[in-house]
Amino acid sequence: MTIHPKPELAAREAVIFDVDGTLVDTLDAHLEAWLEVLNRFGYHPQTSDLRALFGKHSVEWVRALLPPEDQEHVGRQIIQAKDRAFFSRLDELPNFPGATELVRDLYTAGKRIAVATGATEIELPRYLRKLGIADLVHATVDGDEVASGKPDPESVRLALRKLERPPRKAVVVGDSLFDAEAAREAGAAFVGVLTGGFTEEALRDAGACEVYEDVGALYEAVLPLLTATP
């Protein structure tokens, strides 16, 4: 995997992070929660079909997995049940090594930090506490705050407005094709990590200017630039 010598995170004023699969290892827990609830409601999708949706808003999962006649009423029940099933697992989920340190050092270096996520307004504060970054984030956008989740760029655009920074001065860090598409449509750069189940080639094809194994590898790459003496 190629790592660029001048990471975008060091060159931009604002950094917008995804959370699920990027800062916290949630992929398997989300898949387990979706499978548990879908099976309970009589739907039996393949795990591979679910993996392809990781990073999208729950409404998009329902649209992809349920027949049209079930998407509104039954879909709403499924989303609520899935949120409960996932929330019960949240405290057990590990942060990716380097996640907290990366956000901390970017903050210390004077970067404007935002989190733009499909996580609910109840889940997001818990994530920030788990990561120990609640006091380091200048702006947040949760999944309940936007009409359309990723790949729609609404959450990234809202984060940019809250940060008061133009897209050309921002970079989005995420793990999915949908993070990449949202960043591209919002006009921001995108840095990908491989912890969401997508390949480097797929992330680069979606617009990633850099791809790293995980946020720990990204942290190792930007640390020398963040701590360099002018």
Which residues form the catalytic set? 18
DSSP state, residue 110: T
Torsion angles phi and psi, residue 177, rounded to 5: -60, -30
User: Could you tell me the two tokens for 128?
Assistant: 């920030």
Are residues 78 and 108 in contact, defined by beta-carbon separation less than 8 angstroms? no
Are residues 20 and 90 in contact, defined by beta-carbon separation less than 8 angstroms? no
User: Could you tell me the two tokens for 90?
Assistant: 């949240």
Are residues 93 and 58 in contact, defined by beta-carbon separation less than 8 angstroms? no
Strands 139-141 and 170-174: unpaired
Angle at 81 between CA 84 and CA 97, to 5 degrees: 40
Q: Compute CA distances 50 → 7, 60, 218, whole Å.
A: 31, 11, 27
